[in-house]
């Protein structure tokens, strides 16, 4: 690792993380609100009641503000693949570029066309065509998310590819295997359902504010009914897809799974740590280290969650680093050796090809293909460098899960009291709904922190570490742009919040009936 510029790696990671975290402040609200709008406008078209048109147009204004800033941050994020991660782009560009290209077509043609009709076409096109445009914006934005999430899922579980040793690039051999891999399917379903939940909480929270102020009561009550129904259905789906996603992580990223649960030593009948606090940063090399200051466990639940067998053995971090012959787990020490064999064999193959030494090239290629599965491990000497930040991954995961169950309860309570027309008497619930808005974003960002920090040090699982993916540029330029982006994104975020608050405050009271 000593020949890598770690300052460049760290600043490149920081810049990309900054952009991604800010971008994800805007995206989930776009994905979910678009469907809530489509549902509300459908009710308007079916009933012909102007109150539903007013409700739809109000939420559409907030959607449009958020949509514009989300597009701006998303463009910057995609450009960073070329500016900061050119080695990554070269290594997997044939695969990673395809879903991004499709996403671009979806976003800039389908979405933008029908977005214009949806936003500016009131009273200019028929009700039916306008409603169709609104639904197509919702479908288009979610299809755009599909391709981004497919690309990300491939990084977590690279399938459908073949490495070309002559060009040193991975090439796509099965598009459908990439699109329909279990990791991609579950990542898409879980991510969009979490976005729907966030959007529903946003609508309920803003509506709760109207009720607390005793303004726009009809708009607020009806918005809560729609959002709570939508949120309850999608939150249950979010829990189910999250459960399946955990099993996928266990199957393809066991180190991430162990980090999510703070599991340092594997065991049968593994309990799930429902709530826990680390005593200090534990060490997988010290079996006598005290890992927990306090914890509450559910017996056998981790084994069941990972394998659907409550008695199954779940490997811990120590098992993965040092190996476990009884459970056929190859140690990271051995993986590093095989990875170095693959790297050296690739170099030997390319030199032999240039020298037209077919015999040596054939032998080197065979060695390479035998060990390529562990290619990325060869960049490391110390296997402990392959362990992600366990406390960060653990706390992020448990924050996401804990808040997810609170969201389900919030939707149930909101829907019950809305249908009974008792929301105005439940001011405690209205305040909880209002203050749950930032918690929805916290849970959403925590989910991405689990996904991305938990898989470190990999940019492509097992094949390409993050340190080898960066562009060969001066880290000072990355550092400068990091702070520039931080300022610009923060200004954009503040501007969006101010504009949204202004729109909410300026909404004229539509009556109390």
* pLDDT digit string, tens, across residues 464-477: 999 998 988 888 99
- Which residue, chain included where needed, has tokens 């009273």? 123
Helix (H, G, I), strand (E, B) or coil at 116: helix
Q: What is the pLDDT of residue 72?
A: 77
- Which residue, chain included where needed, has tokens 């914890």? 295
**Angle, to 10 degrees, between the axis of helix 6-47 and the axis of helix 475-506?**
20
Q: What is the pLDDT of residue 189?
A: 94
- Do residues 162 and 368 lie in contact, with contact meaning Cβ atoms separated by under 8 Å? no
User: C-alpha distances in angstroms, 466 versus 142, 258, 340, 455?
Assistant: 28, 20, 17, 10
Q: What is the pLDDT of residue 484?
A: 93
Share of the chain above pLDDT 90, in %: 65
Q: What is the pLDDT of residue 44?
A: 95
* Cα–Cα distance measured from residue 332 to residue 330, given in angstroms and rounded to the nearest whole number: 7
Sign of CA dihedral 340, 341, 345, 348: positive
Q: Is the model's pLDDT at 348 over the cut of 60?
A: yes
Category of 472 on φ-ψ map: left (φ > 0), alpha (ψ -120 to 50) or beta: beta
User: C-alpha distances in angstroms, 121 versus 41, 61, 114, 127?
Assistant: 13, 13, 10, 9
Element (H, E) at 274: strand 272-278
Q: What is the pLDDT of residue 121?
A: 86
User: 108: pLDDT confidence band, cut at 50, 70 and 90?
Assistant: low
Q: What is the pLDDT of residue 285?
A: 56
User: 157: pLDDT confidence band, cut at 50, 70 and 90?
Assistant: very high
* Cα–Cα distance measured from residue 114 to residue 138, given in angstroms and rounded to the nearest whole number: 10
| Adjacent-strand bridge partners of 294 | 277
Q: What is the pLDDT of residue 47?
A: 94
Residue 215 is classified by DSSP as -
- Which residue, chain included where needed, has tokens 């049968």? 268
Q: What is the pLDDT of residue 218?
A: 94
* Cα–Cα distance measured from residue 235 to residue 383, given in angstroms and rounded to the nearest whole number: 39
**Angle, to 10 degrees, between the axis of helix 127-156 and the axis of helix 86-105?**
160
Please write the tens of the pLDDT for every residue from 167-199: 888 889 999 999 999 999 999 999 999 999 999
Q: Is the model's pLDDT at 288 over the cut of 50?
A: no
- Which residue, chain included where needed, has tokens 């005593």? 279
What are the φ/ψ torsions at residue 209 (nearest 5 degrees)?
-65, -40
Q: Which two tokens stand for residue 252?
A: 């393809």
User: 513: pLDDT confidence band, cut at 50, 70 and 90?
Assistant: very low
- Do residues 266 and 327 lie in contact, with contact meaning Cβ atoms separated by under 8 Å? yes
Q: Is 350 exposed, middle or buried (0-12, 13-18, 19+ CB in 10 A)?
A: middle
Q: What is the pLDDT of residue 5?
A: 83
Element (H, E) at 370: helix 358-371
Mean pLDDT, residues 479-498:
92
Mean pLDDT, residues 110-117:
80
Q: What is the pLDDT of residue 366?
A: 93
User: 105: pLDDT confidence band, cut at 50, 70 and 90?
Assistant: confident
* Cα–Cα distance measured from residue 128 to residue 229, given in angstroms and rounded to the nearest whole number: 24
pLDDT, mean over the chain: 90
Please write the tens of the pLDDT for every residue from 227-258: 999 999 999 999 999 999 999 999 999 999 99
Best CA proximity match to 119, nearest among 107, 137, 105: 137
Mean pLDDT, residues 271-285:
75
Q: What is the pLDDT of residue 511?
A: 47
Mean pLDDT, residues 115-143:
90
Please write the tens of the pLDDT for every residue from 397-407: 999 999 999 99
**Angle, to 10 degrees, between the axis of helix 182-212 and the axis of helix 427-453?**
150
**Which residues, in sequence order, are CB contacts of 56 under 8 Å at separation 6+?**
37, 40, 41, 44
Element (H, E) at 102: helix 86-105
Q: What is the pLDDT of residue 281?
A: 59
Q: Is the model's pLDDT at 426 over the cut of 50?
A: yes
Q: What is the pLDDT of residue 289?
A: 52
For the chain, the helix, strand and coil percentages under 3-state DSSP, each to the nearest 5: 75, 5, 20
Q: What is the pLDDT of residue 441?
A: 96
Taking only Cα atoms into account, the Rg of the chain, rounded to an integer number of angstroms, comes to 25
Mean pLDDT, residues 319-336:
94
Category of 364 on φ-ψ map: left (φ > 0), alpha (ψ -120 to 50) or beta: alpha
- Which residue, chain included where needed, has tokens 């491939």? 154
């Amino acid at each position: 690792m000593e020949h890598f510029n770690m300052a460049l790696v760290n600043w490149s990671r920081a810049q990309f993380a900054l952009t991604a975290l800010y971008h994800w402040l805007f995206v989930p609200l776009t994905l979910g609100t678009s469907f809530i709008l489509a549902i509300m406008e459908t009710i308007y078209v079916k009933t012909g009641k102007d109150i539903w048109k007013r409700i739809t147009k109000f939420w559409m204004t907030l959607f449009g503000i958020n949509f514009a800033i989300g597009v701006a941050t998303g463009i910057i994020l995609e450009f960073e693949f070329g500016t900061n991660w050119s080695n990554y782009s070269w290594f997997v560009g044939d695969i990673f570029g395809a879903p991004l290209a499709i996403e671009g077509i979806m976003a800039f043609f389908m979405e933008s066309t029908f977005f214009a009709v949806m936003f500016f076409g009131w009273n200019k096109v028929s009700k039916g065509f306008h409603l169709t445009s609104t639904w197509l914006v919702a479908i288009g934005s979610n299809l755009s998310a599909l391709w981004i999430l497919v690309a990300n899922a491939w990084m977590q579980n690279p399938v459908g590819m073949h490495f070309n040793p002559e060009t040193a690039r991975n090439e796509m051999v099965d598009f459908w295997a990439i699109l329909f891999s279990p990791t991609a399917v579950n990542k898409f379903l879980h991510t969009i359902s979490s976005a729907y939940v966030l959007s529903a909480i946003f609508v309920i929270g803003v509506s709760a504010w109207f009720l607390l102020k005793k303004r726009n009561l009809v708009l607020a009550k009806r918005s809560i009914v729609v959002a709570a129904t939508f949120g309850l259905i999608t939150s249950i789906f979010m829990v189910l897809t999250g459960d399946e996603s955990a099993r996928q992580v266990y199957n393809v990223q066991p180190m991430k799974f162990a980090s999510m649960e703070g599991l340092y030593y594997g065991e049968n009948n593994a309990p799930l740590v429902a709530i826990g606090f680390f005593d200090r940063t534990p060490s997988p090399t010290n079996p006598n280290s005290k890992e927990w200051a306090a914890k509450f466990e559910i017996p056998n639940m981790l084994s069941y969650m990972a394998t659907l067998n409550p008695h199954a053995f779940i490997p811990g971090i120590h098992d993965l680093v040092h190996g476990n012959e009884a459970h056929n787990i190859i140690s990271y020490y051995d993986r590093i050796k095989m990875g170095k064999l693959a790297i050296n064999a690739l170099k030997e193959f390319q030199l032999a090809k240039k020298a037209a030494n077919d015999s040596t090239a054939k032998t080197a290629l065979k060695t390479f293909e035998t060990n390529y599965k562990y290619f990325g491990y060869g960049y490391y000497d110390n296997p402990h460098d392959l362990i992600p930040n366990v406390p960060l991954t653990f706390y992020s995961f448990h924050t996401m899960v804990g808040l997810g169950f609170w969201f389900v309860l919030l939707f149930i309570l909101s829907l019950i009291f809305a249908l009974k027309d008792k929301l105005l008497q439940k001011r405690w619930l209205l305040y909880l709904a209002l203050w749950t808005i930032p918690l929805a974003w916290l849970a959403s960002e925590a989910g991405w922190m689990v996904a991305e920090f938990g898989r470190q040090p990999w940019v492509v699982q097992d094949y390409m570490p993050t340190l080898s993916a960066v562009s060969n540029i001066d880290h000072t330029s990355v550092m400068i742009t990091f702070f520039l982006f931080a300022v610009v994104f923060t200004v954009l975020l503040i501007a969006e919040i101010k504009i949204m608050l202004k729109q909410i405050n300026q909404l004229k009271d539509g009556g109390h009936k």
